[in-house]
């Protein structure tokens, strides 16, 4: 009986240990201090600044594709069958500490967001945590379209932006073998 109890206890600790090392990313969209709920993959926002609040467990960084193209987005999440250029190129880097309060829009390349420590990160000032577990906010006030060299303040934007956060898996030759979806949403501005 004692052996069964010890076996169950050991199994319990192994399960907790593997759960603690699991990689996950939780994303909330906040506007005017309120978490905006997602409804069928859509987040309805006012045409104003908003914040991504990201809670990470064992993910130092990830790629984010942001586009106005619904078909590209649908292909990335597996609902359509187009080639996704984000998966065929290297990411571009945003600036440390998000000084421009922007979301880069590109159908060609993703951007790389990460948290290494309190000095090296792509989030607003004062994210909390360490490289294994952290919480960071990234305020978005402007959409920066790399294709048209146009920046649009969110106060003037009344359309949809599709975002896709993912973790790439590469082989030895640095070919993408898998894109693990961490989060995706259609941000609809009214």
pLDDT tens track, the chain, 190 positions: 555 544 444 334 444 433 445 889 999 999 999 999 999 999 999 999 999 999 999 999 999 999 999 999 999 999 877 688 888 878 898 899 999 999 999 999 999 999 999 899 999 988 999 989 999 999 999 999 999 999 999 999 999 999 999 999 989 988 888 889 999 999 999 9
Q: What pLDDT does residue 131 have?
A: 87
Q: What pLDDT does residue 23 have?
A: 86
CB proximity list for 164: less than 8 A, separation 6 or greater: 64, 65, 66, 73, 76, 77, 86, 181, 183, 184
Report d(CA 156, CA 48) in Å as an integer. Answer: 8
What Å distances lie between residue 176 and 42, 82, 112, 184, CA to CA? 28, 16, 15, 19
Q: What are phi and psi of 103, to 5 degrees?
A: -115, 120
Q: 105 with 143: CB under 8 angstroms?
A: yes
| pTM for this predicted structure | 0.86
């Amino acid at each position: 009986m004692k052996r069964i109890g010890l076996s169950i206890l050991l199994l319990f600790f192994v399960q907790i240990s593997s759960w603690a090392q699991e990689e996950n990313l939780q994303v909330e969209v906040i506007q005017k201090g309120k978490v905006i709920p997602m409804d069928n993959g859509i987040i309805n926002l006012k045409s104003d600044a908003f914040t991504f609040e990201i809670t990470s467990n064992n993910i130092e960084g990830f790629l984010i594709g942001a586009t106005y193209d619904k078909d590209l987005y649908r292909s990335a999440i597996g609902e359509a069958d187009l080639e996704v250029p984000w998966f065929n190129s290297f990411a571009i880097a945003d600036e440390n500490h998000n000084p421009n309060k922007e979301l880069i829009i590109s159908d060609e390349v993703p951007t790389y967001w990460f948290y290494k420590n309190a000095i090296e990160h792509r989030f607003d000032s004062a994210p909390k945590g360490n490289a294994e577990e952290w919480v960071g906010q990234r305020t978005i006030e402007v959409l920066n379209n790399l294709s048209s060299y146009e920046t649009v303040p969110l106060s003037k934007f009344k359309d949809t932006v599709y975002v896709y956060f993912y973790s790439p898996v590469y082989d030895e030759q640095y070919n993408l073998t898998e894109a693990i979806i961490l989060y995706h949403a259609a941000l609809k501005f009214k």
